[in-house]
Structure 1
Amino acid sequence: MGEPSVSINQMHELPPLKKNYSVFRFMGGNLISFFGDQIYLIAIPLMVLSITGSPVSMGIVAALERLPILLQPFAGILSDRFNRKHLLLLCDLGRCLLVGVIGVLFILGILEMWMIYPAVFGIGLLSQIYNTSQFASIPGLVRGEDLQAVNSMNSGIFNLAVFIAPGVGGLIISSFNPGYALLVNSASFLLSFLAIASLRMKVKEKEFPGISIWGGIWEGFVYVVKTKPILYTNLAMVASVFGTTLFLTLLVFHLKDSIQLNTVSIGWLLSIGGAGAILGAVTSSLFRKRFSYRGILFGSSVIGGLSILCFGWMESFTGLVIMNAVGTFCASMMSPCIITIRQTLTPDHLLGRVQATCRLMTWVFMPLAAFLAGLLAESIGTHHTIMLAGAISTLSSIPYLHHSLIDK
């Protein structure tokens, strides 16, 4: 497909990775934000459980939070047409306010489900815009040859947050209540806002004369379909994301209600899983030096899917910890590879739309999966639902065998 559009020009303008302080500040802001997100993932299910005690309600909340995925094409247009730094700042500020309000209302004892529904939808919408803009911003901050390393580091700091934050969140929730955990999440978005505000990002206002919004969206879609390595990784991710969404929607509920773990134990189980994810992210670049993207993605997908299946079958704390760590290791091995494939093969003016198209294609069934998770849990139990999720995730590895990924 040719060399990445940023590699030739930016190699002379941007410093080597070790001296690129802007990208390290950018990732530092991400770390703070990721930290808060992991606490949020524990706090929200426990809030819903406290208010309703219903897995169906949790499924509805998870579905609403993921519903903005359907608006991904518009997030891509925003990212390609407007100042990406401004979008990142707006999303951080908006999430800071929404999460903080939910936390305060729960602490005061006046939070009701009808308040949670629009709030989580808004948080999900802002997160979609933020994630797309973040993806499109990274190639403008680093040299093309440093993309794989930066994506691995970014995945690593995300998993560092996964390692530390759930344990901290569990302690906060067990000592106080989930509302205070959300106040910590709100503060993390504010700190991320300040970190991004300090950056000098070389992103300018963009104009697309003669191209309508729908024409711009279609341009991104056509590019994805014609670029086979991107297309087939997306097809694999469709089934993978469906299975993992079934699993993740029920994860905290399953550990609390079915396995009878306390909040602190749940936090530590998730944190230990984060340690496996950090290892996966760190070793991703090392594996890339010896193996093709196809080998890494196929192997990680198979092993990761089987780990979810085994997670649903096991009841011992040790076994659950091991399976969760294996699954997070595999997921974090795959993520930098998929991101780098997209960034390397996509010109700068299409980065936002290509990422948005990819997210829409691979995440379009997430709201349905989240809703079905609650229904299946009530009908066949959380154990069998999670095992089904693992089987689906394992089968998702097949598209990674496509020949277009052999030399990638």
Structure 2
Amino acid sequence: MRNRGPLLLISVLLAISLILSHSPALGNESTIVLGTVSERGTGDRIPNAHVLVLVGHQEGYIRKVLETGANSSGYFALELPAGSNYSICVYYDNPLTPGFDYVPSVKTIYALSGARLNLSFELYEGASLLLDGEVLFVETAYPEKPVFAVLDPESREIMKFGDFTLKFGELDFPNKYLELDPNHVIVPAGIPFMIGVYSGSEISAGNLDVIWYSGSNLISQSFIIDRPDHFLLEKGETIHVDLTEFSVLNGLSTVKRLVSEVQFIIRERKEEGFYLALEEQRLSRTYSLIHEAEYFLNQGEFEFSFAKLREAYTEASDLKRWLDEMRIEAYRSVFLILPFLALTASAISFLFFEGRSMKVIAAFVVFLLLLLATYLLYPGSRIVEAPIFFGASLASLISVLSVLAVLPMFMRG
């Protein structure tokens, strides 16, 4: 077998000389990078791979500064100005296969003056998942542009190969610089995975929460796209997934959880003595909307199904907010009712009795009767803590009696 070592060395030297002939002379103020591209597992060289040099790193500001390629033997050489952080991305896709054949490999370096780096890029076999339709959330009519992340089914964290985090969407890297559609997701071949969908851009490796602002409220939203046995693709394969269908399924789960919360709150309020016939009618309407949404979902009418879910979510959210406000207002109103009851009891005692002692005793008795009636008939009185309720009651009666005792003397004076 012929020794290929000298030929490979000559190829590398020729690549370096070619770069130097097209670059300004930087002397020692540059870093030389010698790279090899091979397939993970087999170690076979990958010829003619694409090499992309970016300033910065994937999780922060990033800008393309150079685009070149490896030679037919899988070697490449770069000369980079010193003093900056660079992300070197190597990728390859066979145009004869429907999907992306390899997961891109990224290495982050800091270029030192006069440095010489030897880097090996091993590419994992890959495939493509194309997300059709649109992302919809029942919580908002205006979600931000989504980000898609490839997740490990066991840890549910975002997969990361070297310095490359597998997240895609309308991002400069990887979709823009690799000339991929925003809904094109590169996935590892032969490895089970799920897809996390996030409406927003503030996403980091291992974090499932993404945020956006809706009015003055901070909302966190995400959902998972998965199969019962998870996704598992072969090298170069492509599959299509309907985003709208999974959005509706996620919306259905969200609405059902919310309606269950509302039903529990209604049960609590009824136990506290609130009369909620109208609220129960509104809840019944929400259940009807859910049933209609499920019907359209089974018929494949995802847009109609989502419209019903959006209506059900709005109705259930308003009902939940009203139930919370109802309890708060009932609690507050007790402290307005108590002085009125004390004044009523005092007025009755002053009308029917002459002696001061009898008036005070009668006022206490009438006030106790009014408190008992209020406790039995008005739910707000039963949600106030007993020490606070009786303390406020006593303070109200003493205050009213004191005013009624002092007022005649003040008027005579």
Report the TM-score, using the length of structure 2 for normalisation: 0.21
Greater relative contact order (Cα 8 A, min sep 6): structure 1 or 2?
1
Q: Which has the higher helix share?
A: 1
- Looking at CA atoms only, which structure, 1 or 2, has the larger radius of gyration? 2
Q: Which has the higher strand share?
A: 2
Report the TM-score, using the length of structure 1 for normalisation: 0.21
